[in-house]
Amino acid sequence: MSVLAAMLTLMLLAAVMAVVSRPLLVARKPEESDTPRRSELEAEREAKYREIRDAELDYRTGKLSQEDYEAVNGALRAEAVQILDKLESSEGGPESSDSEGDGKVEGDQAVEEDRAPDPAK
């Protein structure tokens, strides 16, 4: 093997070992503010909010009659509250968790914003 190639290989090897062994050597603080249960619930919550918005859009674009919409809407919101309850009791921590890990929380406010003057009127 040529000297240059050998040196580069060794450098690469060293880099790889550094990257790979870091978590083993450096004790990371347990960043588990997200227990598996919590992030799962948050994913469910997001999905439920999306369903609520979809149902409303379905109603407003004429696919559902008012009765059917109210039935579906009620059911969905009840399911949402259940999820929120579970979330609240699962950790009890005051700060919100970022399910995307990027400081943004979608969901409830999105639902609020999209709501027009109440269709039930």
Site for other proteins in 45-74 (CB under 8 A): 46-47, 50-55, 57-65, 67-68, 72
In whole angstroms, what separates CA 92 from the centre of its chain? 18
Q: How far apart are CA 112 and CA 114, in angstroms?
A: 6
- Write down the least CB distance from residue 9 to other proteins, Å: 4
29 near other proteins (CB under 8 A): no
Helix (H, G, I), strand (E, B) or coil at 118: coil
By rule CB under 8 A, what count of residues binds other proteins?
A: 75
- Write down the least CB distance from residue 58 to other proteins, Å: 4
Handedness of CA 31, 35, 101, 20 (dihedral sign): positive
Among 14, 29, 105, 121, binds other proteins (CB under 8 A): 105
Sites for other proteins among residues 81-100 (CB under 8 A): 81, 84-85, 87-88, 93-96, 99
In degrees, rounded to 5, the angle at the alpha carbon of residue 99 between the alpha carbons of residues 105 and 39 is 130
Assess contact for 90 and 38: CB atoms under 8 A.
Answer: yes
14 near other proteins (CB under 8 A): no
- Write down the least CB distance from residue 66 to other proteins, Å: 9
- Write down the least CB distance from residue 89 to other proteins, Å: 10
Taking alpha carbons only, the member of 111, 8, 97 closest to residue 53 is 111
